[in-house]
Amino acid sequence: MMKRYFGIIAVLCALAGSVCAQNTTTFGNIVSMGVPCGAANCVYYQLPQGTPWVTVTVTGTWAGTLETSTSSAPNANYSNLDTIAWTVLGTGTANGTWSAATSGATYLRVRATSWTSGSAQVAMASSQSQAPLLNPLFPGIVTASGLQMANGGSATNCWLTNGSSANCSSVLGGPYLPSAGGPITGPVDTFAAAPVFQGLVQGTSFYEAGYVRVVGKYAYVTAHGASPGAFNVVDISVPTSPALISSITSTQMSNGAEGLECVGTYCYVTTAPNNSFVVIDISNAKAPAQVGYITDATHLHATQTVAVSGHYAFTGTNLGSTIYLSVLDISNPTAPALLNSVTSADLNSGVAQVGLKGRYLYVVTNSGVFSIWDASALPALTEVAHTATLIGADFFLGDRYAYVINGVIGSPSSSTLSVIDISNPTVTPVVVGSVTTLNTVEWTIKCAGNYCYVTDAQQNGLMVFNVSNPAAPTLVAEIFDNTNLLSIDDIFLSGDYAYIANNGSGTTGSLAIYRITGENFTAASIGNLQAGDANVDNTLVVGKDLTVKNGINVGLFGVNSNGPIVSSGSVKASSAGASIGYETGTGTGCAVTQLTSRATGVTCTNNTGEITMFSAAGSTTAASFTVTDTAVLATDCIGLTQQGGTNTYELFSKVAAGSFVVTFLTTGGTAIDAPTINFGVTKCSAN
């Protein structure tokens, strides 16, 4: 029956509480049988590009057999639809709704292979938001006793879309999928499919690509083998056709660009051969520009990693007689500065990766020491815990756990993904779960939701692990691609896509894009959401409080607040052209003039403004006038400065609730003039 082939996915959607979104629907009626297909006995559906699955709904009163199949080989005018090869997905003799994988097909067909009577209404809906459970496997339907297999209940064979079969037990095992014939006893793993290749961009500027980061519709890729070393910008707005739009180098990047982090309108690059830290302005992605750098052969020696939070950057030396972990001030992008460097026996083999979460900095070294540093009193760093039981290459910091992989070529003969409890960073990290793979080099890792994506640098592979059970991470998918994955160096996840930087071969490297399991919803209402990374292309509206554990990096238009901004730390301007004060042209200030004499009081209801004094001769004798201002509190501080005028005036203020007194006298000249006094109110406090 058709339901055996398609039913499990619809049931899994219901069991998992997921939304099976649909975005395109077509209808047709089947009232008879016949070959070749005609309007009375077949319904065709042309699938949108990239559609991973469809749903088929059959209603009506009818008796017969309906067959669902897929194909990808019609000619230009579709005259060969009856003669091309179709892959049969299943048959059914009753009404129902089923989900089916397209497996890359571009056409889906429902036809009557036998018919007795009646009329069947067929509706097919496509979605680009979900893929099938185990594409292209159709294991069967879920029953009270377990899984009823596609070939009639056998526990040994599950049919594939290409007509071959596989052992059901080998593909259905795992903590969240029942073994063949076994009951479902836990939550359903709705992981859909192995990552699917989308597009590739390659060239000499990507040779030995180092790191990749994504901001909006652009991917930024460093390359340490390119000659000269390069910083590349790739337009990824069309994942199937990524395009290099700019590539730059500099004296500091001439021998290779390595570590990379991008925040706001800046990317921060470490250049191991040149012992430098570089700041690149990416506000114009088509014309990125290096705006600042620092070179330090001691504290930045062979540095190849960087983490950024607020106006601080963190990096570490990878080689040298003394290994340093350093804090840089990046508040002025044109002049990054070294604030502090620390060392420890736990760092002696060289810093491989750094990462920041909350108030703690996490470090993994070349020899596998995983250490945790308190960064709450920057620029000071204090080591609070470590473990030396790992062979570390890279790690990903989750909410409670760190996921650490090893990556030493040839040793050990297999690799390990370890899950470390970091819920209390001040105690020795504990490995709570691990999984050993047959691959020899796990090089980089990124995680999203319940899944971690791990690259295999030596075998050109990408592995997907289910880590929803920290004690038992499980490999759920693996691909090998000797064409598009060549000596992988980094992976970055954004939305539905994985962006992979490849060292490449010869003098050519590349950036590959793969589609990973994800959901695309036009709209959704979610009660609780936990995400590893979130990229919002347009507006983000937060109904209540927003808590940020690390720094906030804001773009060119700054922060616009309707309420007070309270800081427990300093508020500073970070560049020569920046300032702190009241915005002009928005009605925040007032302008008033004394009318009859220099003793005449004025009224202003703002915290800043200009007072033009009555035109009169200056005097070395002190005189005063009162400014009535309801915005002023008795605890406020009043700042006064002279603007214009012929004479030089000395100004004093005395504050009270609702007003302040300005006292003035000349210290240079007694000519007749009408100077302007600028004033600003600062909120002061006695406790």
At which of 172, 202, 217 does a domain end? 172
**Of 11-20, 35-44, 200-209, 457-466, which range is least confident?**
11-20
Residue 578, pLDDT score: 65
Q: Tens digits of per-residue pLDDT, 604-661?
A: 988 899 999 999 999 999 999 999 998 899 999 999 999 999 999 999 999 999 999 9
Per-residue pLDDT for 213 more than 70?
A: yes
Number of structural domains found in the chain: 2
Per-residue pLDDT for 407 more than 60?
A: no
CB hemisphere CA count around 173 (13 angstroms): 6
What CATH number is associated with residue 27? Answer: 2.60.120
CB 515 within 8 A of CB 195: yes
Per-residue pLDDT for 394 more than 80?
A: yes
Per-residue pLDDT for 166 more than 70?
A: no
Asked, for residue 620, whether it belongs to a domain, the answer is yes
Per-residue pLDDT for 44 more than 50?
A: yes
Residue 422, pLDDT score: 92
> With pLDDT > 70 as the criterion, what percentage of the chain qualifies?
69
Q: Which domain holds residue 116?
A: 2-172
Residue 303, pLDDT score: 92
Mean pLDDT score, 9-27: 31
Q: Tens digits of per-residue pLDDT, 447-494?
A: 988 899 998 887 888 888 889 899 999 888 878 888 899 889 899 999
Per-residue pLDDT for 417 more than 80?
A: yes
At which of 157, 172, 187 does a domain end? 172
Q: Which of 205-209, 250-254, 289-293, 492-496 holds the top average pLDDT?
A: 289-293
Asked, for residue 638, whether it belongs to a domain, the answer is yes
Asked, for residue 335, whether it belongs to a domain, the answer is no
Q: Tens digits of per-residue pLDDT, 328-350?
A: 999 999 999 999 999 999 998 88
Q: Tens digits of per-residue pLDDT, 571-597?
A: 766 666 666 777 666 667 889 999 999
> With pLDDT > 90 as the criterion, what percentage of the chain qualifies?
39
Helix/strand/coil for 681: strand
Asked, for residue 206, whether it belongs to a domain, the answer is no
Residue 240, pLDDT score: 94
Asked, for residue 57, whether it belongs to a domain, the answer is yes
Helix/strand/coil for 616: strand
Q: Tens digits of per-residue pLDDT, 544-567?
A: 667 776 667 665 546 766 566 776
Per-residue pLDDT for 117 more than 50?
A: yes
Q: Chain-centre distance of CA 124, in angstroms?
A: 34
Asked, for residue 342, whether it belongs to a domain, the answer is no
Mean pLDDT score, 57-80: 76
> Rounded to two decimals, what is the model's pTM?
0.59
Asked, for residue 484, whether it belongs to a domain, the answer is no
Mean pLDDT score, 595-601: 94
Residues 332-367 as b/e (b if ≥16 CB within 10 A, e otherwise) read bbebbebeebbebebbebbbbbbbbbeebbbbbbbb
Mean pLDDT score, 31-60: 68
Number of other residues whose CB lies within 10 A of the CB of residue 640: 18
Peptide bond just before 470 cis, omega within 30 deg: no
At which of 140, 155, 172 does a domain end? 172
Residue 589, pLDDT score: 85
Residue 42, pLDDT score: 76
Alpha helices by DSSP H, listed for 283-374, are none
Average pLDDT, the chain: 77
CB 140 within 8 A of CB 7: yes
Confidence of residue 666 (pLDDT cuts 50, 70, 90): very high
Asked, for residue 643, whether it belongs to a domain, the answer is yes
